[in-house]
Amino acid sequence: MSSAPVFPVLRHDDYFTRPSIDELVEMEAADPGYCSRVPGFVVGRVGYGQLSFPGDTDVRGMDLNEIVKFGKHCVEVYKDEDSKPPLGQGLNKAAEVTLMLDLSEIPEPGTLVEVLKRQTRKQGAWFVSFNHLSGRWKFEVDHFSRFGLVDEEEEDVVMDEVVARQPIAEVREPPANGHELELSRSLPAHLGLDPAKMQEMRMTMFSNEDGDEDMEDGFPSDQRYFSSERMNVDSPNSSALRLRSLSPLHGSSLKVGRKFGVLDRKEPQALLEYSANSSELGLSSHGILMSGQNKGFPVRMTKVDGFKLPANQTTPVTGKIYTNCVVDAALFMGKSFRVGWGPNGILVHSGSLVNRPGTGLSSVIHVEKVVCDKVVRDEKNKVKEELTDLCFSEPMDLHRKLDREYLETESDLFKLKLQKVVTSRFVLPDICRSYIDIIERQLEVSDLSLSSRVLLMHQVTVWELIRVLFSERATGTQLEPTGDEDQEGMILDKKEGSVAIDLEALPLVRRADFSNWLQDSVCHRVQGEAGSLNDARYLEHIILLLTGRQLDTAMEIAASRGDVRLAILLSQAGGSMLNRSDLAQQLDLWKANGLDFNYIEDDRVKIYELLSGNVQGALVDLSIDWKRYLGLIMWYQLSPDTSLDIIIHSYHQLLGEGKVPYPVPVYIDEGPLDESLQWSPGDRFDISFYLMLLHANQDEKFGMLKTMFSAFSSSYDPLDYHMIWHQRSILEAIGAFSSDDLHVLDLSFVYQLLCLGKCHWAIYIILHMPHLDDAPYIHEKLIREILSQYCESWSKDETQRDYIAELGVPAEWMHEALALYNEYYGDQQSALENYIRCGNWKKAHTIFMTSIAHSLFLSSKHQEIWDITSALEDHKSEIADWELGAGIYIDFFILRSSMQEESTVDDSDLLEKKNESCSTFFSRLNDSLLIWGSKLPVEARACFSKMAEELCELLMNTPGEGLAPNLYMGCFQTMLNAPVPDDHRSSYLQEAVSVFTDILCRD
């Protein structure tokens, strides 16, 4: 392959790239196709600046000196508009621009930052930073043209017709033909819209805080630059000191240029023109000019009817297409609407499919549930419980039994034990066999759809491939048969006899196992295609058998037809390279000597070509799948001692050159599908090919893990991750790779489990997510969110509750979720208990005071109140207003008990002490009523009144014969200050008058 169209060209010495051109050549050789996906590509010029392109960039065949031109304080990319690629391709994509400014040539350096920010915004870019010392100016752009500082007096006009400049307030005389008047800068007039209405709409839609953006033609100037594609025009070249305007119509007039240094206006003052109908005002009528603040057109808010779909319109989540994407309502309703996912697969959407022709947008919002359990449904779309167990519970139980190591993390007062499965490559065959047993039991379930069976068989082959590629055998042991003659499905290497495996022979043993895996994987396709041939086409039948390496059958067919020589050649197929060379030389001699190939069957020549190692020549008009093509290269083209890694790399290199079939996923390769899919070659490989590449790159970092473990690499259902996660976990456990960047896979499987109500397994998955130093609390946040959102599911399942506890999840988190759940459904008593158990004393105290205490007190359940308040009292330092909250109930019981015990003692000091205690307590009751306010229901206020009544009664019944009158009156004053109803207060007052009268009479 020539390097000219692959590598970029850079001729000037002062220009540079990162990676350099030499590094790109080395990386392309090590990883074919690297130049089509260079990460973080940088191109620049020494002393002038550089461009940095985030993500992957295709730099193949680029002449960088022709595309990128750095000048003084500016940079221009794709000067020739005709050669500019579409937005997002080549270098016409988002980038960070760094320009080196010569500060000695720039006036007023003190205000330079503000100037750069303003001019950056006018170009449609985003200011990042400016270094006063080095003169380094950084900004970000969405696409490329020309950016930088140029002569401030220069004006650039890109118009269909250039018209002489007019003053901003000048109005042209009406044309003689009587057409409507148009102001040169009025875009609404060009579009056939009423400028007055457009001005009203602008004033309604754009608030004052957005007023610092320049408004031209009734639209924000920045938005005009960003939406050029929507207007079906090419983006103009921009500069910091010039404004360019493009009109969507031909014959547009010239925009008035802006000078450098003019401050932005706070309120747009764009002039609009209202062109009256000529039939009403005549030819001599002048246009009416308005500004942005004209009060002749008041702002009016009008109700706009949205688009509506017919009532019987099907939605994207109905029927069998529920996994397709839907239009985000925010895309067409702006910031006035948001759309998102709720628990259990609830989706709010607009009802319009993405890229579905003939489907319009709709503001009729649908709330539907996206089904995430298709994998457990039969061909009648009914959920089967046995499939649920086989797809989720049994694989998870198997995974749980594997050896693992733990990492304890601390979060505040709590600890979590993160888990990681570790296992040996020597026991990998047993693990794969266990997963295959589970899948085979799924195949025995009745009423499975054909597409489901295809995917299940594919999962079997994937686990067998993992065993073949990544398992290890102990050297010096005996090679045992790894299959069963009577077993359907995969029949692996069944070499009889017992041989000691030498260390040097292990690669050949793995190659043989891989060869057997390929034979078994394509066997059903070979038999299916061969079954449609008649007996007369035996040579074509032999070719098909050779694509599956079924040599015994091919020899039998040739011998049965009397074609002994061909049978002998077939018996040596894929053998020594000498035989292949002899066949190739014989074919070359025939061609050189002018042999008339019309006397030899075409299929026979193809067989000779294949046996000589010319796979491409033998398959000129024969289309086969990628696995068989890989097998042909391995069996007939490369030497028998070629290592497996070289075989895989060879196919990958040919794939990059477009010479071999693309390794499409199984649901595209074999089908049939229940759903129509939009797929094109290049999207992704089949997971089997990813596994091969992972094995071949085992000593290097594998950069395709995210794509490898996406749902579409093995299933047409983008929401099904149940088996991919297990495959990833086992491969990581044996050390095939290590990655901390597969959270999408983990969380997708978590979501799938949550939609099925398997909260305990979802938490199990989260605990297997790797620990990240930059997100140390991610596990806690996810677990607590699951416990809260799906509390109804796990709280009612004792098995799930026990399993979550066994995982080491703190019981406080579970009680916190239960407390929120109970409080939401009005079960305040249970919410209080769970808040106490989770240690949320403040919330428990609030619920106790506002919902629980008064009902218990009025029901005379004093012991329960005492138990609750005693539990809270141990943490009263963490509770605000404890003395005016639950502490009141404790002090009431204590005070009442002491007053009852001392009620028979006639002592003035004792009465005075009781009076003081009651006075203090009543004051706290009043303060508590003020603090809690409306939070306390009527029953709680009645509870406080009952406390006060009981204490007043005990105070009145205290013996006090011969005591001083002022002591009596002090007691009555205390009772009158108690929070009791008015009728009780009146009775206390009457009693006070009676006692006072009796004292006077005795005197």
pLDDT band at 299 (very low <50, low <70, confident <90, very high): very low
Q: Which residue has the tokens 């003052």?
A: 269
Please report which helix (H) or strand (E) contains residue 994, including its range: helix 982-1002
pLDDT band at 178 (very low <50, low <70, confident <90, very high): very low
Mean pLDDT for 224-233 is 33
Q: How far apart are CA 495 and CA 499, in angstroms?
A: 10
pLDDT band at 244 (very low <50, low <70, confident <90, very high): very low
pLDDT band at 238 (very low <50, low <70, confident <90, very high): very low
Mean pLDDT for 124-137 is 84
Q: 301-310, 389-398, 617-626, 884-893: which range is least confident on average?
A: 301-310
Q: Check residue 163 and give its pLDDT.
A: 32
**Of the candidates 851, 919, 863, 909, the residue with the CA atom closest to the CA atom of residue 889:** 863
Mean pLDDT for 81-85 is 81
Q: Check residue 865 and give its pLDDT.
A: 92
pLDDT band at 212 (very low <50, low <70, confident <90, very high): very low
pLDDT band at 663 (very low <50, low <70, confident <90, very high): very high
Cα angle for residues 267, 269, 273 (degrees, 5° grid): 145
Give 326's DSSP letter: B
555 pLDDT higher than 60? yes
Count of C-beta atoms within a 10 Å radius of residue 340: 11
Q: Check residue 750 and give its pLDDT.
A: 93
pLDDT band at 201 (very low <50, low <70, confident <90, very high): low
pLDDT band at 741 (very low <50, low <70, confident <90, very high): confident
375 pLDDT higher than 90? no
Q: Check residue 810 and give its pLDDT.
A: 93
Mean pLDDT for 551-571 is 91
Mean pLDDT for 231-254 is 33
Q: Check residue 303 and give its pLDDT.
A: 38
User: Contact 223/300 with Cβ under 8 angstroms?
Assistant: no
Q: Check residue 740 and give its pLDDT.
A: 87
165 pLDDT higher than 80? no
Mean pLDDT for 167-179 is 38
Mean pLDDT for 653-678 is 80
Backbone torsions φ then ψ of 130, nearest 5 degrees: -145, 130
Mean pLDDT for the chain overall: 75
pLDDT band at 905 (very low <50, low <70, confident <90, very high): low
Q: Check residue 162 and give its pLDDT.
A: 32
47 pLDDT higher than 70? yes
Q: Check residue 108 and give its pLDDT.
A: 60
Q: Check residue 336 and give its pLDDT.
A: 47
490 pLDDT higher than 80? no
Q: How far apart are CA 734 and CA 721, in angstroms?
A: 20
pLDDT band at 260 (very low <50, low <70, confident <90, very high): very low
3-class secondary structure, 51: strand
Q: Which residue has the higher pLDDT, 300 or 31?
A: 31
pLDDT in tens, 817-863: 999 999 999 999 999 999 999 999 999 999 999 999 999 999 989 99
Cα angle for residues 196, 200, 202 (degrees, 5° grid): 115
Q: Check residue 814 and give its pLDDT.
A: 95
Mean pLDDT for 665-679 is 70
For residue 156 the two structure tokens come to 């650039």
For residue 18 the two structure tokens come to 């990162």
> Above pLDDT 70, what percent of the chain?
70
Q: Check residue 227 and give its pLDDT.
A: 33
Please report which helix (H) or strand (E) contains residue 901, including its range: helix 886-901
Q: How far apart are CA 591 and CA 584, in angstroms?
A: 11
Give pTM, 2 decimals: 0.62
The structural architecture, per CATH, of the domain 15-148 is 2-Layer Sandwich (3.30)
Three-state SS string over 758-818 comes to CHHHHHHHHHCCCCECCECCHHHHHHHHHHHHCHHHHHCCHHHHHHHHHCCCCHHHHHHHH
Indicate the domain borders of the chain.
15-148, 329-369, 504-661, 840-1000
Cα-based distances in Å from 692 to 396, 489, 657, 702, 736: 26, 21, 19, 11, 12
The number of CA neighbours under 13 Å toward the Cβ of 517 is: 23
Q: Which residue has the tokens 């890989």?
A: 630
Give 3's DSSP letter: S
| Range with top average pLDDT, 53-57, 120-124, 376-380 | 53-57
Q: Check residue 115 and give its pLDDT.
A: 83
First to last CA, the chain: 129
294 pLDDT higher than 50? no
782 pLDDT higher than 80? yes
Q: 123-132, 294-303, 725-734, 891-900: which range is least confident on average?
A: 294-303
Q: Which residue has the higher pLDDT, 794 or 121?
A: 794
pLDDT in tens, 323-372: 344 444 444 444 444 556 665 566 666 555 444 445 444 455 666 666 66
Mean pLDDT for 191-196 is 52
Q: 403-407, 501-505, 808-812: which range is least confident on average?
A: 501-505
Give the DSSP letter string of 125-145.
-EEEEE-TTT-EEEEEESS-S
958 pLDDT higher than 80? no
Mean pLDDT for 780-796 is 92
Go through the chain and tell me how many residues it has.
Answer: 1003
Q: Check residue 635 and give its pLDDT.
A: 93
Beta bridge partners of 377: 383
For residue 266 the two structure tokens come to 């706070």
Q: How far apart are CA 212 and CA 122, in angstroms?
A: 12
Q: Check residue 160 and give its pLDDT.
A: 34
Give 519's DSSP letter: H
Mean pLDDT for 288-309 is 36
